Structure 1
């Protein structure tokens, strides 16, 4: 009999979870069969915004908070004050490209200098790529600046200087403008009621609706875009999109969200789950028990937006259970030999040889010290040999490996590459004449080097060389002081002896 009761209890639990004849969405149990046959599962209503009253309330609360709490950022100020639609769109466009993969605090100075130098599309289109790279240096992801200028030139030459007015046309006509950037420009600059989805928006929406599936999957991305387009305020689309991004950047942060300060916490299913768990824990202290339903449990299973069964809700994480991301792909490891090749300039200060990288690929068009990739497993002498061979192309004279001085290793992490620069230095005794017909190499002073379009990695390399030079100078000075202390000086007093008053007065320099 006990077995029968246990089986009946299991059946009752399955029915309560929605695995009986009636599923939560009103469909019959044939949904389970369709899932087994490979039909795509449909998101449960729990994860969606369908109530117009709730949507209106969320919009109002978010916009009221944004009007009161938004940060004063230069691109917002410029876009709000600019009456010309094309110049306004350009100002927003530059900010959105710079903000990709880069923090706001870093972008502000770059943005101000950019807009001061190229305040219009026409000004940017007339600039050289070298100028663009020089201003972009240090901001990372250098292809962004190149594509931005290419698109600006297309607007000027093919579109008569008129920016496309819709997100669809922006994405279709401008190279380097994706779905997010197009939506941001169209909504902020032209008032198109279209949503945006970036990292901040993904985090906010996933917490609002307990979306725990992999956010890099196509099904989740499509759902998030649909949700963003549903929520965007029709009368203030640009402000709403910025408010959603602002919320993710300042309140709904990745690791330490300020849920108590969130203006839309009443609409957040993840926050409700946390509050219910806290209430349940409090009741247990008084001997009461209350069942806390699993907010991510959508019934019979197969929901494409729920937390994976292998990684269920973790109470210790709270709202940071969402979003869940797939494990990052490990960056590939690369080694590069680099030589700081220097000569004495006209005023005795060192000058450095820099060469230009190819016009495509990683760090395209930027300047660097002579470098070449290293095969794995090379010993130091082998590294010197391949580097010496490479340097002959620039010095046009034999390079002896014993003159290459090892500085150290400089590590720089690109988005997909773990790069180690094995750095050597070589001081040339005489001058090295460069090929006058070639514009891909030049001698520069330290000041000119820092003003050139060089990557952050090369700045690290130069710093390593300067550190080595400082250490060598310190050792030389130390040796000189040691020699002087051994020789002594005329009239000096041995250490530990006290001068008489007459000797002390005699030793003082005249005023």
Structure 2
């Protein structure tokens, strides 16, 4: 038995009018939906759908595949046991009621929630939700709060953000990580203002198709919270909640499992309060159904949780005082092995409890890279001491941010010193290379890269101050550096430099830094550098011309 509903039936239900966000917004939402349909039609220039209207819901990719996908879906459903599904309407109703009642009592007071609840203009409400959802991607709530507050104070509307410069956006975003998020957010704001008449798309489908950087989750969050569309969302927290409630142990990153989780989310979302329901599911995963040590006794849907039932079953089975097996429901696939169950290669771990669900595949370790970077300072520059920063390329890692002059290290290269010196001189002209000192090492882990920075310092003492720089470089005071659009990694590098200067304090241990005197084991990249830089560290003798050129 499955709960599969035909595609056309689901699509017909989606064509029905949504529940209004508020009594005063029906006309505004309707006119906005009409505008976005016209925008989508003109931007994509797709042929008319089956009902003769371009840009309608019937043109979504699922329907365009037609009946060709149905046999595949039948096979998929046949390999999934009803044990993992919500099979009765009263079960779904109970889940919604318990979760929303708990949310009304326990929800956290967060600035983006206050902003969305108090904002009557739908475009501004959607913008406020959009900013929060983008910032919260891969970032903890506690970190986002201050960034969100500053952002909304500086750019309270789409028009404000659209008129800002990328430099300003990067500067405010500095330290939040995943810097492409801020850039895409501004690109999206400009598109809304310049191409969509300043009005946000109001359905998950058009949000995802019209706005750069907006994926399925973000589109669903904006559509449900800001516009009241009854669409489910699946993020990391919701994945964990759904997997435990329905005892889904398979890897949720698998395409088949992910599709099933989205089906469950869509089935469960409350059409009367879709935004609150989605936020409640995320809140439950963030505060109660946590990755480790979940607080099951505080869970509002514990009575409906199959993971909790499995834990109780395992405890009862382990009790020698029982005669026979406990009478509890188990997974019973109709054909073959159920695709949603725990992998047979990973047996039940009693120490994990409900955290057996889900089992994620081991992540590939980030690739390791090494870079040499130099803090170049003019202590007696006009207006006070200044340090040199250069801008990164407009695309790629940390696009558009500012950093200290750096070169990528390759162990096979034989001219590391020459490469770093040439990089410095390309920005600042002739330099006293003999004063270059190695100060320490900084390790910073990005999402897919473990980057080790070999930190060097060069102070221009007694020289004529450098007053001109080529495009893409600037001299900043220390105060300006701390407010500039620089990455967290560069702030770590600067702490190492400050810690090695007379009259300054040492860098924080939490910065994952080490100095030549404290390091116990040298990395391969550092060993390569040491072979080239050792003469500079131990003596003040000039470098031979054969090396310096």
Q: TM-score range by the shorter chain?
A: 0.7 to 0.9
Question: Which residue of the other structure, out of 449, 453, 456, is the alignment partner of 1:421?
Answer: 453
Question: Which residue of the other structure, out of 357, 360, 365, is the alignment partner of 1:322?
Answer: 357
Distance 1:346 1:217 in 2: 57
2:242 matched to 1:205?
yes
Q: Residues 151-230 of structure 1: matches in 2 within 5 Å?
A: 151-230=188-267
User: CA separation of 1:316/1:297 partners in 2, compared to 1, >3 Å: closer, same or farther?
Assistant: farther
**Cα displacement (A) at 1:299:** 6.0
Name the counterpart of 1:462.
Answer: 494
Distance 2:143 2:323 in 1: 52
User: CA separation of 1:472/1:254 partners in 2, compared to 1, >3 Å: closer, same or farther?
Assistant: closer
User: CA separation of 1:408/1:377 partners in 2, compared to 1, >3 Å: closer, same or farther?
Assistant: farther
Distance 2:362 2:403 in 1: 33
Question: Which residue of the other structure, out of 262, 269, 272, is the alignment partner of 1:232?
Answer: 269
Q: How many residue pairs end up in the alignment? A: 434
Contact 1:214 1:324 in 2 (8 A): yes
Name the counterpart of 2:290.
Answer: 253
Contact 1:354 1:442 in 2 (8 A): yes
Question: Which residue of the other structure, out of 241, 266, 270, is the alignment partner of 2:307?
Answer: 270
**Cα displacement (A) at 1:291:** 4.4
Distance 1:338 1:456 in 2: 14
Q: Residues 40-55 of structure 1: matches in 2 within 5 Å?
A: 40=76, 42-55=79-92
Name the counterpart of 2:418.
Answer: 385
Distance 1:420 1:294 in 2: 52
Deviation per residue, 1:14-64 (Å, 9 max, x gap): xxxxxxxxxx88xxxxxxxxx9xx965531111111210100011000000
Question: Mean alpha-carbon deviation: is it higher for 146-155 or for 313-322?
Answer: 313-322
Name the counterpart of 2:427.
Answer: 394
- Secondary structure at the residue paired with 1:422? strand
**Cα displacement (A) at 1:431:** 3.7
Deviation per residue, 1:310-341 (Å, 9 max, x gap): 11222221100011111101101000110000
Q: Residues 328-339 of structure 1: matches in 2 within 5 Å?
A: 328-339=363-374
Distance 2:247 2:300 in 1: 17
Name the counterpart of 2:479.
Answer: 447
Question: Which residue of the other structure, out of 417, 435, 439, is the alignment partner of 1:403?
Answer: 435
Contact 1:394 1:434 in 2 (8 A): no
**Cα displacement (A) at 1:216:** 0.8
Distance 1:408 1:297 in 2: 59
Distance 1:121 1:314 in 2: 49
Larger of the two Rg values belongs to structure: 1
**Cα displacement (A) at 1:275:** 1.7
- For structure 2, which runs of at least 5 residues remain unmatched after alignment? 3-70, 507-549
**Cα displacement (A) at 1:389:** 1.8
User: CA separation of 1:316/1:467 partners in 2, compared to 1, >3 Å: closer, same or farther?
Assistant: same
What is the TM-score when the length of structure 2 is the normalising length? 0.76
**Cα displacement (A) at 1:307:** 1.0
Contact 2:380 2:465 in 1 (8 A): no
Distance 1:150 1:196 in 2: 24
User: CA separation of 1:454/1:104 partners in 2, compared to 1, >3 Å: closer, same or farther?
Assistant: same
Distance 2:75 2:141 in 1: 43
- Secondary structure at the residue paired with 2:500? helix
- Secondary structure at the residue paired with 1:181? helix
Distance 2:178 2:325 in 1: 52
What is the TM-score when the length of structure 1 is the normalising length? 0.81
Contact 2:313 2:326 in 1 (8 A): no
- Secondary structure at the residue paired with 1:418? strand
Question: Mean alpha-carbon deviation: is it higher for 294-303 or for 452-461?
Answer: 294-303
Distance 2:202 2:107 in 1: 26
- For structure 1, which runs of at least 5 residues remain unmatched after alignment? 1-23, 26-34, 475-511
Distance 2:329 2:353 in 1: 13
Name the counterpart of 1:493.
Answer: none
**Cα displacement (A) at 1:276:** 2.4
Distance 2:294 2:490 in 1: 37
Distance 2:326 2:104 in 1: 40
**Cα displacement (A) at 1:377:** 5.6
Name the counterpart of 2:40.
Answer: none
Q: Residues 25-64 of structure 1: matches in 2 within 5 Å?
A: 40=76, 42-64=79-101
Say what the alpha-carbon RMSD is for the aligned residues: 2.2
**Cα displacement (A) at 1:277:** 2.7
Name the counterpart of 2:166.
Answer: 129
2:176 matched to 1:139?
yes
Distance 1:268 1:123 in 2: 45
2:393 matched to 1:358?
yes
- Secondary structure at the residue paired with 2:390? strand
